Amino acid sequence: MRYEKSEKIYEVGKKVIPGGVNSPVRAFHSVDRTFPIFIKSGKESKVTDEDNNTYIDYICSWGPLILGHNHPEVNKAVKESLELGSSFGLPTKREIELAELVIKCYPSMDMVRFTTSGTEATMAAVRVARGFTGRNKILKFHGCYHGHSDSLLVSSGSGLLTDGYQDSNGITDGVLKDTLVTDFGDIKSVIKILEKENVACVIIEPIPANMGLINTKKEFLKELREVCTKYGTLLIFDEVISGFRLALGGAQEIFEITPDITTLGKIIGGGYPVGAFGGRREIMEMIAPIGRVYHAGTLSGNPIAVSAGIAVLTHLINKKEVFYKELEKKVDYLVEKVVKLSIKHEVPICINKIGSLFTIFFTEKNEVVTLKDSIESNTSHYSLYFNTLLDNGVVAPPSKYEAHFISSAHTYEDLDETVKIIDLAFEKISLDMKKN
């Protein structure tokens, strides 16, 4: 049996860890599997599971591994750092180095604070916005995920949608009351809300990737910037996924829009736990110990994680646009072939892509632009796609609400092999469509 060891590990795991996993999407529930694969190791574009099956990996740790698994430059930095000790609870020079690299790429930031996760970064950013404006309410968009802090878990996309619900239990009415939500792209409703309510901040994924990938219209972000400025509401760009992935300066560089606060994560830790939030000096100087907005962390700016981040950012900064162009070329190569396969097998799909991210929606629609479009895409076709790929050595995201990630370690042979397997998957979907 191909997944025998993974199944055995899961039997033990589910007794000691809820669902046997430490993050729900890893459980593979929405792709009709009763247990996940357990990963033993990763190298370049591939991961190997406990049964010694090897897969071309399109999860890439959900984004951090833009250089692929086990990159020698990252490993070298981590090993050197390890020799010096793990963590001190006192500042290190390396944190300043990483801060300087981040600020260099994000002109909207004069200062940056490090955390251990994207969740902490967005949670602290919202607190700072409340402290700065003296307002309580915040506004977010349906389907945008900003981590699992209480106030941001309302209508928050991928993980919850994957499990079939919109909001988490365990959040107080008070918190729910202070989180306003509207539709992504609906500037009229944003204006109405900001006119009526005292809103501290609008938080947004400038390119949403947690309801499947959705392409954003520049005009919407431009208007959002203007209306936030008009009403004294801070604009937070959550670039935990898009930061350093779409360009060195993330979505804000591509769209030429300056947010008040930016949150980062994933790539800036190179596979190790780092998040960050930053913005203008007057905002960031609200933070303790110089201001009265508290943010802290035993492992915030952990030297080993920070060293990994420095290695990755240095690599990206040295390669500049060429790096991103090459990644995009790979996605274009793959997507073009997948579209041809969909025509060959008469399987209706719509692919959204930007840079090194893409989502395949199984839908008759020509465009997927809203959360509703994404929800309405075919879940069982996605499941057939995922399972055929997994059984043949390719691991795609185990939910239709996520994006595929590509790294610089993915080769054109990997892409050709992936296309062959997608051919099989589409053949199965086509047969399934004829049956029904």
Q: Which residues are the active-site residues?
A: 145, 238, 266
Q: Which stretch binds ligand PLP (CB under 6 A): 118-126, 184-192, 217-225, 287-295?
A: 118-126
Minimum CB distance to ligand PLP smaller for 68 or for 159 = 159
Q: Are strands 394-395 and 357-361 parallel, antiparallel or unpaired?
A: unpaired
Torsion of CA 294, 298, 299, 301, to 10 degrees: 40
Answer whether 68's CB lies under 8 Å from 410's CB.
Answer: yes
User: Cα separation of 311 and 270, whole Å?
Assistant: 8
How far is residue 204 CA from its own chain's centroid? 13
Contact string (CB under 6 A) for ligand PLP, positions 275-294, x = contact: x-------------------
Establish if 151 lies at the interface with ligand PLP (CB under 6 A).
no
Among 35, 114, 132, 145, binds ligand PLP (CB under 6 A): 145
User: Cα separation of 41 and 21, whole Å?
Assistant: 17
Q: Which stretch binds ligand PLP (CB under 6 A): 81-89, 175-183, 236-244, 421-429?
A: 236-244
> Which phi and psi (to 5°) does residue 51 adopt?
-90, 10
Contact string (CB under 6 A) for ligand PLP, positions 155-194, x = contact: ----------------------------------------
Q: How many CB atoms lie within 10 A of CB 236?
A: 28
In the chain, DSSP finds a helix count (H) and a strand count (E) of 14, 14
According to DSSP, the residues that pair with 395 across neighbouring strands are: 57
Contact string (CB under 6 A) for ligand PLP, positions 356-395, x = contact: ----------------------------------------
Torsion of CA 364, 367, 370, 371, to 10 degrees: 40
Among 118, 250, 309, 348, binds ligand PLP (CB under 6 A): 118
Tokens for 292, please give them. 């009265």
Closest to 64 (Cα-Cα) out of 270, 313, 277? 270
User: Cα separation of 61 and 272, whole Å?
Assistant: 10
Residue 266 CB, shortest distance to ligand PLP, in Å, is 7
Minimum CB distance to ligand PLP smaller for 243 or for 348 = 243
Establish if 295 lies at the interface with ligand PLP (CB under 6 A).
no
Establish if 252 lies at the interface with ligand PLP (CB under 6 A).
no
User: Cα separation of 122 and 113, whole Å?
Assistant: 11
Minimum CB distance to ligand PLP smaller for 147 or for 303 = 147
Establish if 30 lies at the interface with ligand PLP (CB under 6 A).
no
Tokens for 255, please give them. 């769209």
Minimum CB distance to ligand PLP smaller for 119 or for 182 = 119
Using CB under 6 A as the binding criterion, the count of chain residues that bind ligand PLP stands at 15
Establish if 238 lies at the interface with ligand PLP (CB under 6 A).
yes
Q: Say which residue the tokens 């916005």 belong to.
A: 129
Among 94, 142, 146, 353, binds ligand PLP (CB under 6 A): 146
Tokens for 188, please give them. 């009229």
Q: Is 92 left (phi over 0), alpha (psi -120 to 50) or beta?
A: beta
Establish if 119 lies at the interface with ligand PLP (CB under 6 A).
yes
Establish if 354 lies at the interface with ligand PLP (CB under 6 A).
no
Q: Which stretch binds ligand PLP (CB under 6 A): 177-185, 233-241, 297-305, 368-376?
A: 233-241
**b or e along 30-42 (b: 16 or more beta carbons within 10 Å of the residue's beta carbon)?**
bbebebbbbbeeb
Establish if 421 lies at the interface with ligand PLP (CB under 6 A).
no
Contact string (CB under 6 A) for ligand PLP, positions 193-212, x = contact: ------------x----x--
Establish if 240 lies at the interface with ligand PLP (CB under 6 A).
yes
Establish if 122 lies at the interface with ligand PLP (CB under 6 A).
yes
Among 62, 132, 184, 277, binds ligand PLP (CB under 6 A): 62
Helix (H) or strand (E) holding 275: strand 275-279
Among 6, 30, 45, 117, binds ligand PLP (CB under 6 A): 117
Answer whether 264's CB lies under 8 Å from 246's CB.
Answer: no
Output the residue with the shortest Cβ distance to ligand PLP. 118
Contact string (CB under 6 A) for ligand PLP, positions 76-115, x = contact: ----------------------------------------
CA angle (240 as vertex; 407, 161 as ends), nearest 5: 95
DSSP codes of every residue in 370-383: SHHHHHHS-HHHHH
Establish if 259 lies at the interface with ligand PLP (CB under 6 A).
no
Amino acid at 59: I
Q: Which residues bind ligand PLP (CB under 6 A)?
A: 62, 117-119, 122, 145-147, 205, 210, 238, 240-241, 265, 275
